[in-house]
Amino acid sequence: MSTRLTSTITVDFSSSAAEQSLLIEADDRAKYSLRTQYLRVYPERTGKVWESSGQLVKLGSTVKEVEEILSFTNSKQIRLTYPKAYSVAISLLGKFHDVSGNITTTFLSFNGSTNTIDSSKIGFGVIKVTYKARYTLYKFLYEGWGCPYETDYSGPPSPQSIYNPFGANVKKYIPYEDAIIVVYEASSGDFATISLQAPKCEYELANISRNSGVGRLVIEVDADGPAAITTYTEAGMPSTAVLEASALIRVYPDVEAKIEVTDGSLLTPQKGNYRVIHESINFKGVNGRNVKYPPQGRMGIKEDSDIVDQWNRRVTVIFRQEGYTVKEVNWLNPSEYKGRPQNRIVQPGEIVATDIAGFVIKIAGLIKVTYTTTYRVYPYAFDTEIGINGRIVKFKNATIIATYTKPPALLNRKQVGTLRLTAPSVEGSDSYAAPDNP
């Protein structure tokens, strides 16, 4: 299944190439480990691809659907980003102006031999082009471990080890290695390269996120099982009402998690639940927002208003999702920034606004997000406080805390989900007793 994207990582090409015949880019599909990076090589090929370190695995070939906004600037030819384009559709956005600034009519066509959109006249104009391009997908694994891990202590620390005096463990850290991937076409002498900057440790990376809610477990009361009191009578005690208070608790996502409660008890959960979420998100002069629930797979994102940048200009925005590398800069004006771009990886559940080149930008506007999330439902029973007469004085409030049993690769172990449960009141009942405890 293809995904609709509109930007690439910058690559170097042979200066003698008559056209952009090779291209390699990072693929933004979801990854389960920082060590993994997916790559696309255009066009679909069986030629030579090699790596300076790490391991590269060919996965197969598929099609990318592309939509690009391109501009004629005192020109009559524009090259498409992806080579060997087909199923090309072109539409002019607004008017086309000749070199004198006069509105004119021009004929636009796709030239397959040069992979360009050609205008019958030189001038200025903006076009939208949709097309398809075939590529080969590769999975790249960085060399190294990338994160501390523990083993039984069996001697003095090695140069790559730090002894932990609080336990018989050695914490080792073997960082990931940077890599260069090269695609080479022997028949033409063309080549393309991409430099991959090795990610930091999973937990260090999670800590640099600028969104506090990234990667959390979400806990909430199930709408179908709010906190309520159940009244019943036991055999032999027909005149005495026995009260129980319970609720249904949802924990997102549907993964193994350690659930702790300060009072009361949780029963065996119901697994395999899912729901489709339709969420409106308002960007108010920021470059990133988080969705409410942990998404499973890719999110569908649609603009719901005009999008403007911090200079109040209408802009074309690409919304990046989990696993994509974006470039953060300090913008001085709409076309200049100071300092060196800092790469970072978009976190789970995060949506980051960028321009076509992948630079993060602050925007204002509304988007609609559609995604699927999974959860488990835990039946919960409130604890009771018993009076001197053996009857229930009240049900106790409680706090539920959830932590990952095995955190996903991009998440921080310290991140938890919490929920404060307010117990229902027993006031108003004339006669009530606590249920027998088994």
Asked whether the predicted pLDDT for residue 410 surpasses 70, the reply is: no
Q: How confident is the model at residue 87 (pLDDT cuts 50, 70, 90)?
A: very high
Give whichever of 12-16, 102-106, 216-220 has the largest mean pLDDT. Answer: 102-106
For 343-359, the pLDDT digits (tens) are: 888 888 899 999 888 89
Q: How confident is the model at residue 282 (pLDDT cuts 50, 70, 90)?
A: very high
Q: How confident is the model at residue 409 (pLDDT cuts 50, 70, 90)?
A: low
For 145-168, the pLDDT digits (tens) are: 655 443 333 333 333 333 333 333
Distance CA(287)–CA(252), nearest Å, equals 25
What pLDDT is attached to residue 78? 94
Between these two residues, 9 and 382, which has the higher pLDDT value? 382
What pLDDT is attached to residue 97? 93
For 211-257, the pLDDT digits (tens) are: 333 356 899 998 887 878 776 555 554 445 567 888 899 999 888 88
Distance CA(245)–CA(370), nearest Å, equals 35
What pLDDT is attached to residue 54? 84
Q: How confident is the model at residue 55 (pLDDT cuts 50, 70, 90)?
A: confident
Half-sphere exposure of 241 (CA within 13 A, CB side): 13
Percent of the chain past pLDDT 70, that is, above it, reads 73
What pLDDT is attached to residue 160? 38
The phi and psi torsions of 400 (rounded to 5 degrees) equal -110, 135
Between these two residues, 291 and 212, which has the higher pLDDT value? 291
pTM as predicted? 0.48
Give 431's contacts (C-beta < 8 A, 6+ positions apart). 239, 240, 241, 391
Asked whether the predicted pLDDT for residue 22 surpasses 70, the reply is: yes
Between these two residues, 401 and 433, which has the higher pLDDT value? 401
Q: Which amino acid is at 69?
A: I
Asked whether the predicted pLDDT for residue 205 surpasses 50, the reply is: no
Q: How confident is the model at residue 13 (pLDDT cuts 50, 70, 90)?
A: very low
Average pLDDT, the chain: 76
Q: Beta-carbon neighbour count of residue 86 at 10 Å?
A: 11
Percent of the chain past pLDDT 90, that is, above it, reads 25
Q: Which amino acid is at 50?
A: W
Distance CA(90)–CA(72), nearest Å, equals 13
